[in-house]
């Protein structure tokens, strides 16, 4: 899929439906980090403290870099969190937390009914969410002698990549983030122009 196929929410949005007296409240929230999830959930649970369930799914990144989680919060396994996630996936939405709060109305919906309700309320909400394009990027690390560091910096500028950080020791370590679709070309140019002396390797900032 090309980079224009992915989107991410810009601001929070809420939508609700009623099915057989049960009320389902969907909240679509922008997400920057997995660490933000507990705080966002706590805010919703405090506000909707009399609800029976707070089921959710979240995802960050795309492709090999994607991280995601689902939670049924007491509903039958697979009837809430996964349908929510599938709705996000079907809409090419990432960097998002989707929470569906349920107020039980006294009538059981069955597994199929629950899956349709949890997935459906998200599907109804998604077209109304304000979004922007998400461009997949990857992080790379290059190691080189000091005399060759200018070549790396020049290519970072040429490829409009983002310099993350740099360490100066016996060898210079330069870390950058670049559009996923341009990473291979960057790595090839770096290898060719340095006559094989410099290579770009995948880098995971979280593990630094």
For tokens 């996923």, the residue is 180
- If one counts every other C-beta atom within 10 angstroms of the C-beta of residue 46, the result is 8
Q: How high is the mean pLDDT of the chain?
A: 90
- Asked if residue 115 lies in contact with residue 19, where contact means CB atoms within 8 angstroms, the answer is no
- This prediction has a pTM of 0.72
Candidates 127, 118, 109; CA nearest to 55 is 118
Residues 184 and 196: their CA atoms lie apart, in Å, by 15
- Domain assignments of the chain as residue spans, ordered by start: 3-133, 137-207
Confidence of residue 177 (pLDDT cuts 50, 70, 90): confident
| pLDDT one-digit tens code per residue, 52-82 | 999 999 999 887 778 999 999 999 999 999 9
Q: What is the CATH number of domain 3-133?
A: 3.30.230.30
Query: Same CATH fold, 137-207 and 3-133?
Result: no
Decide if domain 137-207 falls under CATH 3.30.70.240. Answer: yes
137-144/200-202 β-pairing: antiparallel
């Amino acid at each position: 899929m090309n980079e224009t196929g992915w989107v991410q929410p810009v601001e929070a949005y809420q939508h609700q439906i009623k099915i057989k007296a049960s009320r389902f409240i969907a909240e679509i929230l922008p997400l920057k980090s997995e660490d933000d999830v507990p705080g966002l959930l706590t805010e919703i649970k405090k506000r909707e403290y009399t609800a029976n369930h707070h089921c959710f799914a979240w995802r960050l990144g795309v492709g090999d870099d994607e991280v995601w989680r689902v939670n049924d919060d007491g509903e039958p396994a697979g009837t809430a969190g996964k349908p929510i996630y599938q709705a996000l996936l079907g809409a090419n939405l990432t960097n998002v937390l989707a929470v569906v709060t349920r107020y039980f109305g006294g009538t059981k919906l069955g597994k199929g009914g629950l899956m349709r309700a949890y997935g459906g309320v998200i599907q109804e909400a998604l077209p109304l969410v304000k979004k922007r394009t998400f461009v997949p990027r990857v992080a790379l690390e290059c190691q080189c002698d000091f005399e060759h560091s200018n070549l790396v910096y020049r290519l970072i500028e040429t490829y409009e990549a983002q310099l993350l950080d740099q360490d100066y020791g016996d060898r210079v370590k330069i870390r950058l983030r670049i559009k996923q679709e341009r990473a291979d070309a960057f790595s090839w140019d770096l290898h060719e122009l340095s006559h094989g002396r410099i290579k770009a390797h995948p880098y995971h900032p979280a593990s630094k």
